[in-house]
Structure 1
Amino acid sequence: MVLTLGVFIAFARGRVSIEIISLLTIALIAVGLYFYPLPHTQPTDGLVLAFGGFGHYALITICALMIMGRGLVVTGALEPAARMLERVWKVNLQLGLLVSLVLAMSLSMIVNDTPVLVLLLPIFVALAQRGAMPASKTLIPLNAAVLIGGMATTIGTSTNLLVVGIARDLGMPQMSVFHYTPIVMMAALVAFPYLWLVMPRLLPDNSTEEQQAERRFHTRLRVTPHSELAGKHFDEIIDRLPADFRFEERPDGQFEVGQRLLISGTHQGLEDAMRILRGEVAPNWVVDRISRRSRSQGEDIQVVEMVVTADSRILNRTLSSSGIADHYGVAVLGIHRPERLIGMQSPGSAEIRFAEGDVLLVTGLPDGLASFASGDSLLQLEGGKVVPRRSKATLAAVIMFGAVALASVGIPWIGSDGLYLLKMPIAISALAGAILMFVTGCVKFDRVGRALSGKVIVLVAASIAIGRIILDSGAAAWLGELMALGLQHLPPEGVLAAIMLFVTLLTNFASNATAATVGTPIAFNIATQLDLPQEPLILAVLFGCNLCYATPIAYQTNMLIMAEGNYSFGDYLRTGLPLVLIMVATLSFLLVVSYGM
């Protein structure tokens, strides 16, 4: 218990990184049990207990799900949902917020919370900059919806898998993916009016009057035979254009094939416009060559911003005379000129000549981009973007949903006994999905490090070790007896609420994974002491670990939105505490009803 308390304090203070605390915890358990082994064990058994978390099936499942989640992100499989969301916001702000909350909750049921929020976060910030609801009023409700959705399935968060894995180690039956989803969905119906209508009113408007505008890049659009522009008038396509994109030249009549028009937009605006209009801003032969090299070399295409310096070779040259594409195999998509607008030049003037300070939007493979920057003395800015491999988006989605279906409802299978539903443990189906992501190229082998979080891996491994030693040392039984003495006179609803609040307190001021490993064996022993069914008490722990709304340190997504919304600690506490109380009361009642307690 001293070790566990020390870990809690270390996590809460945050002065040392989570990875260091986790590794130090594992080392202390291994060394401590070697010199002071548990009763009826050998000194080397402590090594098995301390390092067993790295081979635990829950950790393997978490890593496989991270890989599949990465596959959805890098292939752009979630982008259609994001674009649909943006269109709804343009219709009505309140409707847009409601649809966003429902979508966020639904996606986080099968995809880890963090990638879902990472996908939706820039959309909400961009919408706020275009005059929609301020980001500071929407990001905390969005994060809460993501956390509620992650609570609803056993694969929604790594904490859920951890609780389910520890419960199985304690002798309980394995829970399916949607084992308790109806309970969470009913609680969500109660909580959503608060998220949608009340929480935004409790949050301040932290938007600033003067925001730094995104760079607008000027370029020339070529109308291709397959373009949506061919044969149409400007008025026919104006409503389809993105808000951060515009034509600097407006044709008098119809758009003609081969016509080149001056356009401007942000990076995202140009990308959206090219997808909608199917025009070209770079020569087709350059883009095709980059795509072919990307497939043959197995490298991702990137889009970066580069600044033209005073020593650059391309100063005072035009794009066609600079030979950039021939020399380096990269394509310049647009030019941002800080001091004078390119659009002010006469339509009949020659091509734009590069000047010192121009920011170029360049696409290509990493080696070509590096050669261009060094060879022509350009300064590459941070924040480069990897172009999604959209050709594999459908495949990645099928793999992800297939793995989930295989672990939840099963798939039809013909065996010796006839037709039946084949179901697999989530660890096996997730591993199979991760392997398919690698084999099909949705996730590259050399990019696994970006899919896996070292912080999560060592934290889960340390949490499993702490949970094991709390159980094997008898500390869980002792704590269970103490809590049972205090809870024995309460009704079942009170017992469940007390356990849920206890775990919620831990998860909001320490690690939710560690709270899960401590709370699960305690709840198991309390059920034994009070002669109550074990499963609802284990679920009370699982739910409590996910009620991390009240502090910014409770979960990584809470920290992710803190800077974007310019939130203070009090914003989380003011909006999160009522939500915690609503969820605890509702979930406790639903557990009692569902399990006939």
Structure 2
Amino acid sequence: MTSLPTLHAALAMLVATGMFVAFASNRFRVEIVSLFTIGTIALMLYFLPIPGMAPKAGIAMAFGGFGHTALITIVALMVMGRGLVVTGALQPAARALASVWRVGHHLGLLVTLALAMAASMVVNDTPVLVLLIPIMVQLAQGGAMPASKTLIPLNAAILIGGMATTIGTSTNLLVVSIAADLGMPQLDIFHFTPIVMMAALICLPYIWLVMPRLLPDNSPEAGHEPRRFIASLRIGTSSNWLGKTSDEVIDRLPDGFRFLHGGETFQPGTRVAVSATAEALREGARKLGATAAPRWLIERIHQDSAQHGEDLVEAEMAISADSRLVGRTLQTAGIEGVAVMGVSQAPTRSFAAPREPSAEARLAEGDILLILGRESALQEFAQSEALLMLDGARPLPRTSKALTAAAIMGTAVLLASLGIVPIAISALAGAIAMFVTGCVHFDKVGRALSAKVIVLVAASIAIGDLIFRSGAAQYLGELLASGMEGLSGSVVLALIMLFVTLLTNFASNATAAAVGTPIAFSLAGQLGLPVEPLVLAVLFGCNLCYATPIAYQTNMLIMAEGDYEFKDYLKTGIPLVVLMVVSLSVILSLVYGL
């Protein structure tokens, strides 16, 4: 019978659980939770040090993640990935997709999935998806498959590709780095690529042929209601409906337009909360003599448009995870040069308090903004605020640097894959080369980096180290081992993978990696198994984040454009998780002779 954990092991598990709950609740920003976790570990180890560890050593362990080679590598890869995106280095392949889709939809989807999978092996998942979403939307508008039938399969292919190399995702780097710190030999970039590719071949028919059939056709042409926006209309002094109430005029307004609060009396300057499609919002505001943004701002944008000789453009933009707008309101965001006409709120994450349906509510990842402005102003706004342009003009890449950016990334990957230099060195050299050659500008580097990822990785390294050194990993390994005695190696691997998969689909995959990796080491010792396949089971499990929209940031990005519901992820994601777990566990057991 397993004994009770030591005090430090119990405290480590408590801190890790608190971190999980805070992330899952979505009540606090990831950066705040991560920094609070680091601070908690530092204070705990200073006033209650682990036996044999000095208080100052505990502080160094808590903050050591900020100087860890894994974090340096991740930051450098962010810079190089940014260089590929802003120079359009991946666009030749994207343009070729259009010609393939014209040959046939099924062939086009297969080629798209293959290219996306290959690209995400060496480029972070999010930039690849950001590049491909507008392309898939445009293809759908041109008669290809509806975007709602292609984006979830595309996201799955990208996530599988990212799983295949150590640099495919920051989570992979984190797992490999923690494992190296704990004594496992360093894995090269393509060490486990054949294993993932064999599983990918098994699952590809499901992603390619079955997933699209399980997904709805949410295109407007299929009768699905277009996206609705929440707006705050400002009644003007020349409105024909002054003194009237919203109930009296609703029948005069277009279909798809409704007031969020009934019985309001229209007076000059009155702000009325409404919900409408983009077209109904424009027509309803015109009939009411109202504007969805301050009138002086609308007039300034029109004057600016006339002065520059540019037409006004209305576009929809999705808020990404690293956008400055997350957590702010439209009133406090300091938006300039464009006018936000309405907001389509993303679904609230699990355990989070529902947001008020209001244009004044705090913005969140996945929200869609309806924006009016000059095309060039919209492009600048999307780049400066880390937004994804869904409809309308797209940011223009610096194509003259495309070959340079591709050569830098290719050289960095080649040097590391041949073992000439460590990946941390080649990635750092590649990032510097991106700056020197002008592929990434120094004053734009902040947009290449994600503060959330940086502090999350640092906190994850600290929590993983704490769980291992406190004995918590040993204790949890004993608990798992007590229920796994006598089981075959493939079953053990499948159970570990499923355990980590559950964590990553409802909490942070980086934190799941930090917790799961030390447990894999302890479990290997308990069961007498080689540690490498168990660590790979943790790494793979952290990437099986298909079953919920909150599992990964790319899931949230496609949710808005595909107009998906939570059940769409469950319906398509759970079978894929089962297929991948069974395939990967069997292949791992065969490769490692378990």
* TM-score for the superposition, normalised by structure 2: 0.72
- For 1:558, which of 543, 547, 555 is the aligned residue? 555
Counterparts of residues 16-165 of structure 1 (less than 5 Å): 16-165=28-177
| Amino acid in structure 2 at the alignment position of 1:397 | A
Map of 1:230-245 to 2, 5 A cutoff? none
Contact 1:404 1:429 in 2 (8 A): yes
User: What is the match of residue 531 of structure 1?
Assistant: 528
Do the aligned partners of 1:66 and 1:112 also contact (CA within 8 Å) in 2? yes
Superposed CA deviations along residues 137-157 of structure 1, whole A, max 9, x for unmatched, are 111000000000000000000
1:271 alignment partner in structure 2:
none
Q: What are structure 1's unaligned runs of at least 5 residues?
A: 214-305, 316-321, 325-331, 339-357, 368-381, 411-422
1:387 deviation in Å?
Answer: 3.0
Tell me which of 540, 550, 569 is aligned to 1:543: 540
Q: What's the counterpart of residue 577 of structure 1?
A: 574
Amino acid at match of 2:165: T
Q: Which residue of 2 aligns with 1:184?
A: 196
CA distance in 1 between counterparts of 2:484 and 2:379 reads 63
Structure 2 CA distance for aligned equivalents of residues 585 and 34 of structure 1:
44
Q: CA deviation at 1:14?
A: 1.2
Cα distance in 1 between the residues matched to 2:578 and 2:456? 28
Question: What residue is the counterpart of 2:408 in the other structure?
Answer: 399
1:409 CA displacement: 2.3
Distance 1:173 1:314, change over 3 A: closer
Paired letter, 2:521:
F
Q: Is the Cα–Cα contact under 8 Å of residues 435 and 441 in structure 2 kept in the other structure?
A: yes
Answer yes or no: is 1:485 the counterpart of 2:494.
no
Deviations for 1:87-125, whole angstroms, at most 9, x for unmatched residues? 111221111111110010000000000000000011111
Distance 1:446 1:336, change over 3 A: closer
Amino acid at match of 2:567: G
Residues 534 and 366 from structure 1, CA distance in 2 versus in 1: closer, same or farther, beyond 3 angstroms? Answer: closer
CA RMSD of aligned residues (A): 2.5
The one-character-per-residue Cα deviations of 1:304-359 (angstroms, maximum 9, x if unpaired) are xx9776984996xxxxxx7x6xxxxxxx4x54699xxxxxxxxxxxxxxxxxxx97
What CA distance in whole angstroms lies between the structure 2 residues aligned with 1:589 and 1:397? 36
Q: 1:16 to 1:168 in 2, by over 3 A?
A: same
Match for residue 509 of structure 1?
A: 506
Please tell me the residue identity of whatever aligns with 1:409: L
The alpha-carbon deviation at position 19 of structure 1 amounts to 1.1
Deviations along 1:488-539, one digit per CA (max 9) or x if unpaired, are: 1211011100100000010001100000011111011111111111101110
Q: Compared with structure 1, are the counterparts of its residues 307 and 335 closer, same or farther at alpha carbon in structure 2 (3 Å cutoff)?
A: farther
**What percentage of aligned pairs have identical amino acids?**
67
Counterpart of 2:22 in structure 1 is: 10
Conservation of the 8 A alpha-carbon contact between 2:220 and 2:226? no
Q: Distance in 1 between matches of 2:540 and 2:443?
A: 36
| Distance apart, 1:131 and its partner CA | 2.2
Deviations 1:433-454 (A, max 9, x none): 0011111111111111000000
What TM-score, normalized by structure 1, do the two folds share? Answer: 0.71
For 1:167 and 1:98, the matched residues in 2 are separated by 35
Partners of 2:379 and 2:393 within 8 A in 1: no
Query: 1:168: which partner in 2?
Result: 180
Equivalent AA in structure 2 for residue 463 of structure 1: S
Separation in structure 2 between the aligned mates of residue 117 and residue 406 of structure 1, nearest angstrom: 26
Aligned position for 1:432: 429
Amino acid at match of 2:566: F
- Flag the 1:362–1:517 CA change in 2: closer, same or farther, 3 A: closer
Task: List aligned pairs for 1:333-344, cutoff 5 A.
Answer: 335=311
What aligned pairs does 1:403-482 form with structure 2 within 5 A after superposition? 403-409=412-418, 423-482=420-479
Question: CA 1:310/1:453 → structure 2, altered by over 3 Å: closer, same or farther?
Answer: closer
Whether contact under 8 Å (2:305, 2:311) holds in the other structure is no
Structure 2 spans left out of the alignment, 5+ residues: 1-12, 228-296, 315-371, 382-390
CA distance in 2, matches of 1:8, 1:388: 38
Equivalenced residue count is: 445
For 1:31, give the aligned amino acid.
L
2:532 aligned counterpart, secondary structure: helix
